[in-house]
Amino acid sequence: MTTTTKTLRGTAVALTVATALVASGAPGAAATTRNDVMRDVARHVLTVGAPGYAARIDDGHRVAVTAAGVADTATGRPMTGRDRFEIGSNTKMFTAVLALQLVDQRRLVLDAPVERYLPGVVPNGAAITVRMLLNHTSGLFSYTGDPDFFPAMEADPQHVHTDRELLDVAFEHPPTFAPGAGWSYSNTNYTLLGMILRKQTGKSLPDLVQQRIAGPLGLKHTYYADPRATDTGPGYAHGYAVTFAGGTPVATDVSGWPLGGWAGAAGAIISTPADLSRFLSAVLRGELFSRTQLAQMKTTVDIPEGFGVTGAYGLGLMRRDTPCGTVWGHGGDTMGHHSSAVATADGRRTAVADTTAEPSDTTPSDGANRFARVAYAADDIASCVMLGKPVPAALTDALHS
């Protein structure tokens, strides 16, 4: 598929907010205020260079869906809030669930060394456990942190990486720290987990996701890209790599790039806001594995300052300490999407959002920095709305910056 480059200036914008009641009674002034807040969020996300934005917020009583902009700049097709999209590192929650299911079945041991399952594959693999892969305390360098990785991808965007190629990139770099001696987010950990899952089950990751998660939960629009998204017409939100180097945002459609060929078990799932919400609720309610494994998943290590998120990391599940309270979930960034999926600890309230853009500038720029400020403020504001809390002035200021 040929990528389409389009200047965002002049892109048609459609903005809708639909509220579906889950409890009896009509929404009152509070619901109207929440809708106004999310409309404002959507408007500001579009102003920083995103073609489209969608958010689905379930506050435990009703569901509100906000959709803004277009899902495809080439056709002008509007976002609907039901579109499938690349969920990026939210995939790590799926991979962790699959691993914990195997723990329940005694086919995997969290504190066993990686060497047991992948002999000779990982340097110092006898000192790195499965748990360390899941909670990012292995010290293994992330292949996406290699400065040449993304430039090489942009030069040959249709290349489908093998696991061995990704590991070779990672292992060219020394460990960030000794196993268990720190915390550092690494996609390499989840590449290895994907390899372990395949070896222990004899099944592919697309089959495991369908048979063990999507099928049982009725997630009809959730699948593992193998290696690309399928059916990217109506009902699919295209993703755009945006450069701000010239002052005016310019977007390249990257929806035809092989997500599964570089993100894999770390980030290759396609889903919808409703499906992702259902999945996250099921995780936090212990519907997919035992309560013992849910407790393991929620056993966290602190995330160091400077990562950009305040909180802690469990087994593929992040605890985020937002300005409005604690939420659980993850985030995701691909070449063309920024997304967030969070819930309350009991899974009753959820907030899922997708911004159909990701900065691709190789050097810092004012436009990319503003995009990041607004995108992360939008995530936190969605959490506040989900929790029924007033939006702090600092978040509003960041959104309007």
82-119 in b/e burial notation, b at 16+ Cβ within 10 A? bbbbbbbbbbbbbbbbbbbbbbeeeebebeebbbebee
Contact present, 31 and 390 (Cβ < 8 Å)? no
Single-letter amino acid, residue 6: K
Residue 113 is given by DSSP the state B
The alpha carbon of residue 314 and the mean position of all alpha carbons in its chain are separated, in whole angstroms, by: 15
* Pairing outcome for strands 240-243 and 357-359: parallel
Q: How far is CA 184 from CA 134, 137, 139, 168, 196, in A?
A: 11, 6, 7, 19, 21
Q: How far is CA 245 from CA 82, 362, 400, in A?
A: 32, 9, 21
Catalytic residue among 24, 89, 184, 365: 89
Helices assigned H by DSSP within 55-129: 91-104, 114-117
Contact present, 130 and 111 (Cβ < 8 Å)? yes
Q: State whether the Cα torsion 148-329-255-269 is positive or negative.
A: positive
Residue 382 is given by DSSP the state H
Is residue 281 annotated as part of the catalytic site, yes or no? Answer: no
CA distance 398 to 176: 32
Q: State whether the Cα torsion 156-160-162-167 is positive or negative.
A: positive
Single-letter amino acid, residue 357: A
Give the DSSP letter string of 25-54: S---HHHHHHHHHHHHHHHHHHHTT-SEEE
Q: Which helix (H) or strand (E) holds 209?
A: helix 205-209
> What are the φ/ψ torsions at residue 70 (nearest 5 degrees)?
-120, 150
Cis amide bond preceding 227, omega within 30:
yes
Contact present, 386 and 351 (Cβ < 8 Å)? yes
The residues assigned a catalytic role are 89
